[in-house]
Amino acid sequence: MNMFALLLFWLTLAPVMPYPSPAPNPAETMVRRPPVLFPAWPDAAVIENSGSTNIAGYRIAVRPDGTAAYIAGGDVQRGTVPLATAHWLFAKLTAAGPLDALAVRRCMKSASFGSSTTLTWQGAVSGDLSCGGGPTVAELNRTIGVILTQLRVTPGPRRARLL
């Protein structure tokens, strides 16, 4: 028998022995956390920032009465914005028309450090407001900044993700 035939014969007759798997390293095990439930108020406007590689994003829901909920890298928090701010936001949203038809510029962003900010209201989602646009987009961006300040939402460093 030649060497190839001998090797082939040995491989077909040899029992298949599984390799022992290494013991799990406790530092590498994944921890599963329950999903964070964010309120689904049908009358709320939701501001969402995607974050970037190093900075955590945020999600803020504001209702017309000023009630707010937000999540910025951690658990859901509750808060309120002044009634005047809530009225201003919803007046601007009403005047803007459907958010998916809002004239938002398109812009290039870094894959690692770029983030996008969108608004969702009445089932419509705006384009990336951080790219700018006309006066309506500028006013919505300004109002979002005011809401961030009033709720004291400051995007911080992104934490290690837990599954």
Percent of the chain topping pLDDT 70: 72
Checking if the pLDDT of 7 tops 80, the result is: no
Nearest to 125 by CA among 146, 104, 109: 104
CA separation for the pair 48, 148 (Å, rounded): 11
**Position 156: which residue type?**
G
- Residue 113: predicted pLDDT: 73
Inter-residue contact 93 to 99 (CB < 8 Å): yes
Angle 67-93-41 from CA coordinates, rounded to 5°: 35
CA separation for the pair 63, 113 (Å, rounded): 30
Domain extents for the chain?
37-107+114-151
- Relative to beta strand 45-49, strand 58-62 is antiparallel
pLDDT confidence of 132, banded at 50, 70, 90? confident
Percent of the chain topping pLDDT 90: 34
- Residue 148: predicted pLDDT: 93
Inter-residue contact 47 to 28 (CB < 8 Å): no
